[in-house]
Amino acid sequence: MSSNNFSGEQLNPLQSIEQWEDDVVLRYPEPGVPETAKSKEEYRNYDNPGRDTVREFYRLNHKYQTYDFVQEKKKEFLAFSRKEMPVWGAMEFLNTLVDDSDPDIELDQLQHLLQTAEAIRADGHPDWFVLTGFIHDMGKVLCLFGEPQWAVVGDTFPVGCQHSDKIVYPEFFADNPDAKDERYNTKYGVYSPNCGLNQVDMSWGHDEYLYQMVKDYMPEPALYMIRYHSFYAQHREDAYAHLMSEHDYEMFEWVKKFNPYDLYSKSPKPPVISELKPYYEDLIAKYLPATIRL
């Protein structure tokens, strides 16, 4: 089914795409930081309307992200035929994403990206790691092309083989046609043991889209961070060891290093964009071409 056939609520059950990441933080709280009574209650309370929308979001995600859907999205978006612009311009384009979230509480996309990158920079990591933090969610421009939220954000998972019960809300996969298709519902499905993730198609979203955009320009650890940062079932749960190669495991050390910056760098103090822009423009120029195609 084409995602363009979906109606309003099926497109955008979340008030904002940040609601997904906020929910991930509740699922994987920062180690050492005591859970507040409020956050515990928020996560456990199934009557919480915020949780209902996240549940509905996952219901749609798990139902419609099939092997065929992913192939179709790749054909549609990996031609990169929509726009061509400088990277900073693409970030500003991403920042035009306005949704129903409260602008007084929620940071905008550029602020989240700068906070992530600045936290990485403050810890003294290499500059390509800082740049990775800055661009890692640029693929969310998919939302601006009318894509449903569940085909842009959400935990990613392999398609074409059995869904792990370690993926959040595994019960919703019962409605995914692949779960009844014998080509796709066995442990290995269309893959072979430890074939390596490069052989594996992931559910479609902002990770794969950005990876394909920058794969010729960034160092390999950066590409792993970009491509698999939403693959919680692996980097947090090790649920797909049977598909991982040794090299994947080596590279996933970087994905794990990156994840806390993504989840826990949000602070209410917004970064001053004009002060930071020259540094990031230099970083972009060092690694990426003058313009990129979306």
Q: Which residue is listed with tokens 């990613």?
A: 156
Nearer to Fe ion, 23 or 262 (CB): 262
Q: Which is nearer to Fe ion, 137 or 178 (CB)?
A: 137
Q: How far is the CB of 95 from Fe ion (least distance, A)?
A: 14
Q: Which CB, 142 or 288, lies closer to Fe ion?
A: 142
Give the relative orientation of helices 37-44 and 49-64 as an angle to the nearest 10 degrees. 50
Q: What angle, rounded to 10 degrees, do the helices at 18-27 and 49-64 form?
A: 100
What phi and psi, each to the nearest 5 degrees, are found at residue 280? -75, -30
Q: Is 106 in the site for Fe ion (CB under 5 A)?
A: no
The residues in 179-218 that bind Fe ion, with binding defined as CB under 5 A, are none
Residue 137 lies near Fe ion (rule: CB under 5 A): yes
How many CB atoms within 10 Å of residue 28? Answer: 14
Using the rule CB under 5 A, give the single segment among 29-37, 97-105, 133-141, 176-184 that binds Fe ion: 133-141
Q: Which amino acid is at 170?
A: P
User: Do β-strands 292-293 and 84-85 pair in parallel, antiparallel, or remain unpaired?
Assistant: antiparallel
Does residue 233 contact residue 157 with C-beta atoms inside 8 Å?
Answer: yes
> Least Å distance between CB 189 and Fe ion?
25
Minimum CB separation of residue 268 from Fe ion in Å reads 17
Q: Kindly state the smallest distance separating residue 156's Cβ from Fe ion, in Å.
A: 10
Q: How far is the CB of 186 from Fe ion (least distance, A)?
A: 30
CB 262, min distance to Fe ion, A = 4
* 72: number of Cβ within 10 Å: 15
Kindly tell me which of 172 and 231 has the beta carbon lying closer to Fe ion: 231
Residues 77, 211 contacting (CB under 8 angstroms): no
Helix axes 220-228, 127-135, angle to 10 degrees: 20
**Interacting span for Fe ion (CB under 5 A) from 27-35, 189-197, 255-263, 281-289:** 255-263
Q: Which of 262, 280, 283, 294 binds Fe ion (CB under 5 A)?
A: 262
In angstroms, give the least distance from the CB of 97 to Fe ion: 13
Residue 85, H or E segment: strand 84-85
Nearer to Fe ion, 22 or 262 (CB): 262
When asked if residue 248 is in the footprint of Fe ion (CB under 5 A), the reply is no
Q: Report how many residues bind Fe ion under the rule CB under 5 A.
A: 2
Instruction: Report the C-alpha gap between 257 and 239 in whole angstroms.
Output: 18
Task: Calculate ∠ Cα 163-57-108, nearest 5°.
Answer: 120
Judged by the rule CB under 5 A, the positions of this chain that interact with Fe ion are 137, 262
